[in-house]
Amino acid sequence: MILLDISKLYDFSFFFNQQVILDLISGLFCTLSIAFFGIIIGIIIGIILAIGKLVGNKFVRGVVTVYINFVRGTPLLLQLYMLYYVPAFIWHEMSGASLNWSNYIVGMLAVGLNSAAYVGEIFRAGINSVDKGQFEAASSLGFDYKTSLKLIIMPQAIKNILPALGNEFIALTKETAIISVIGARDLMFYSKQATAITYNPFTPLFMAGILYFIVVYSLTKGVSIIERKFAND
């Protein structure tokens, strides 16, 4: 009895299936662009969250804390589904029409909003890592909070923030694979589809794995270069 057709494991015949290859490449670009725009959204909203937590009043700090704890305390998959179904449901209840958000946009928002919570904490921790005496010295010279942050604190915090941001970007790039479940056409989506087209579960997934790995490994190298640069000065 043959349990496994070993030849499937090294069946690279789908290389000759032009459509599959093109799909995987377009999936790769989708993954990269989701990761890129996701981190941009994450950084912009993350900075707002960090500022809210550092200088906001009680209410603002409360809202930010709840947001950050919710995002970090629940699965990304749940957040993705919430963003995919809840606004569409509310929209439908209110206007009777259906909401035509592309799953690409929903995926990007979910990844970005999720990342914002982590980025916010990265910024806050980076700022808090700077010796309190630096703030006091700046204040005692007459600098207001904003100027102290800009001229004195951020230039010192950045060496902790940048590597952590890089690591967040790496984690986020891998996590984007989850958006395939709502039908966004990323690398994961097309590699699953290829297994169906070629009746081969192994090689397309293996290909996708290699592509993810190349991207993530290059990013890891980039982050360690940044880390080393800051460690030197």
Partner 1 sequence: MIKVENLTKQFKKNVVLKNISLSIEQNEVIVVIGPSGGGKSTFLRCLNSLEKPTFGKIYFNDLDINDKNNDINKIREKISMVFQQFNLFPHKTALENIILAPIKLNIMNIEEATKRGIELLDLVGLSDKANEYPKNLSGGQKQRVAIARSLAMQPDVILFDEPTSALDPEMIKEVLDVMKGLVGKVTMIVVTHEMNFAKEVGTRLLFLDSGEVIEDSKPLAFFNDPQTDRAKSFLDKIL
**Contact set with partner 1 (CB under 8 A):** 131, 133-134, 136-144, 147, 151-152, 155-156
SS3 state at 129: coil
- Choose between 103 and 160: whose C-beta lies nearer to partner 1: 160
* The dihedral sign for the CA sequence 134, 135, 138, 141: negative
Least distance in Å: CB of 149 to partner 1? Answer: 13
Least distance in Å: CB of 126 to partner 1? Answer: 14
- Choose between 75 and 136: whose C-beta lies nearer to partner 1: 136
Cα–Cα distance measured from residue 20 to residue 12, given in angstroms and rounded to the nearest whole number: 12
Q: DSSP secondary-structure letter at 177?
A: G
Least distance in Å: CB of 158 to partner 1? Answer: 10
Cα–Cα distance measured from residue 27 to residue 12, given in angstroms and rounded to the nearest whole number: 19
Cα–Cα distance measured from residue 82 to residue 184, given in angstroms and rounded to the nearest whole number: 15
- Choose between 106 and 152: whose C-beta lies nearer to partner 1: 152
- Choose between 147 and 198: whose C-beta lies nearer to partner 1: 147
* Tokens 């007459």 found at: 142
Cα–Cα distance measured from residue 44 to residue 79, given in angstroms and rounded to the nearest whole number: 19
Least distance in Å: CB of 196 to partner 1? Answer: 56
Q: Is 36 exposed, middle or buried (0-12, 13-18, 19+ CB in 10 A)?
A: middle
- Choose between 155 and 222: whose C-beta lies nearer to partner 1: 155
Least distance in Å: CB of 156 to partner 1? Answer: 6
